[in-house]
Amino acid sequence: MSRSVPSTWAALLASSLLLTACTSPEGSGNDGSQADAAGYPRTVDNCGHEVTVDAPPEQAVSLDQGSTEILLSLGLEDRIAGGATWTDPVMDGLEDAAEEVPRLAENQPSFERVLDTEPDFVSASFVSTLGQGGVATRDQFEDLGVPAYVSPSDCAWGKDNDSGGDGSRSEALTLDAVYEEIDDLAHVFDVEDRGDELVDELQGRVDTATEDLEASDVSLMYWFANSESPFLAGCCGAPGAITAETGTENAFDDTEDEWPQINWETVADRDPDAIVLGDLTRDSQTAESAEDKIAFLEDNPATSNLTAVQEERYILLSGQAMNPSIRTVEGVEQVADGLRDLGLAE
């Protein structure tokens, strides 16, 4: 069903068209100097889709927490008109900045709610958010003159979002996908120096966390949510990147599905050395928090005899760390620390 456009947005479009009609024949804006000096318009290749901005965005909307946290990490809180789709508390160190950003919704906002902010740029972490069945498609935004960007970690790197569930990957994701997103957004907003500094910082954190780490014989299972039919990490998403950086093994690296739902009997057969638990604060599936997951594992006959459960070998991560995001670096650090704390790594 089509959605109507709010009157405020329609007025903005009319005003924009009037201004465009009154520009100089050279099409350079008011006088062309500001845009030309800043190097605009700018275009980024976003998974084969050209995203062009005519000036640094001032009213951006980020539709997923991961995207919001990158923008906040780039110091752009004064240019974010709203954020949405939160699974966790905001990343440590970004609390004050996040207070300046209106929350349009805890989960996905409506298309109308986003348009009410009169956005000049929209970003998302997932195709499922910026696509059919999500908030709106790229075309719907771009038909209204709003450039729309989606994280390359979800629309490239061998990701097939049409294969069912959370999609699948034919190529292993690495942290380079996160760094690419940071570079793209820094370019769009004309803060390339901040982007370079942020990437350098993240790479340094990974190097520090994994220095002299030896855990090549350790198998890990990543459980995101749902106790009846658990979502466990396949080979090649963010948990795969964490596994590669820490030199461990993923107990379910034989499936390319992003988050396959696997029965507990199969888990018992694999018997992982340690279990990485998503500690989510949302209320969407069963067993969202790590506390609920541990209670289930220890009470359920199919899982209570697992080696990891018997030895209480649990490592807790935020949901954002288990999805491709800036927090995946945090996931590398926490898994590396957890392996050492559990005596599974030197």
Domains, in order of start, for the chain: 39-203 (3.40.50.1980), 214-341 (3.40.50.1980)
Task: Check: CB of residue 279 under 8 Å from CB of residue 317.
Answer: yes
21-80 per-position pLDDT tens digit: 333 333 333 333 344 536 999 999 999 999 999 999 999 999 999 999 999 999 999 999
- Integer Cα distance of 343 and 346 in angstroms: 7
pLDDT at residue 13 in the model: 43
Tell me the pLDDT of the chain averaged across its residues. Answer: 90
Q: What is the mean pLDDT of residues 4-18?
A: 40
Half-sphere exposure of 215 (CA within 13 A, CB side): 30
- CA neighbours within 13 Å on the CB side: how many for 26? 8
Q: Is the pLDDT of residue 295 over 60?
A: yes
> Is the pLDDT score of 177 beyond 70?
yes
Q: Looking at residue 38, what is its pLDDT?
A: 66
Q: What is the rounded average pLDDT of the residues 233-259?
A: 97
Lowest mean pLDDT among 2-6, 12-16, 309-313: 2-6
Average pLDDT over residues 239-259: 97
The arithmetic mean of pLDDT across residues 307-319, rounded, is: 97
**276 vs 26, which has greater pLDDT?**
276
Q: What is the pLDDT of residue 282?
A: 84
Q: How confident is the model at residue 341 (pLDDT cuts 50, 70, 90)?
A: very high
Region 168-188: mean pLDDT is 97
Rounded average pLDDT over 239-257: 97
Which residue matches tokens 């050279």? 26
pTM for the complete prediction? 0.88
- Residue 221: which residues within 8 A CB-CB, separation 6 or more? 232, 233, 250, 251, 252, 267, 270, 272, 274, 275, 276, 308
Q: What is the mean pLDDT of residues 300-325?
A: 96
pLDDT of residue 284: 85
Tens digit of pLDDT for each residue in 132-169?
Answer: 999 999 999 999 999 999 999 999 989 999 999 999 99
Q: Which of 146, 148, 129, 128 is nearest to 138 (CA)?
A: 148
Q: Which of 216, 55, 197, 47 is nearest to 124 (CA)?
A: 47
List pLDDT tens digits, range 203-227.
Answer: 999 999 999 999 999 999 999 999 9
Per-residue pLDDT tens for 83-94?
A: 999 989 999 999
Confidence of residue 342 (pLDDT cuts 50, 70, 90): very high
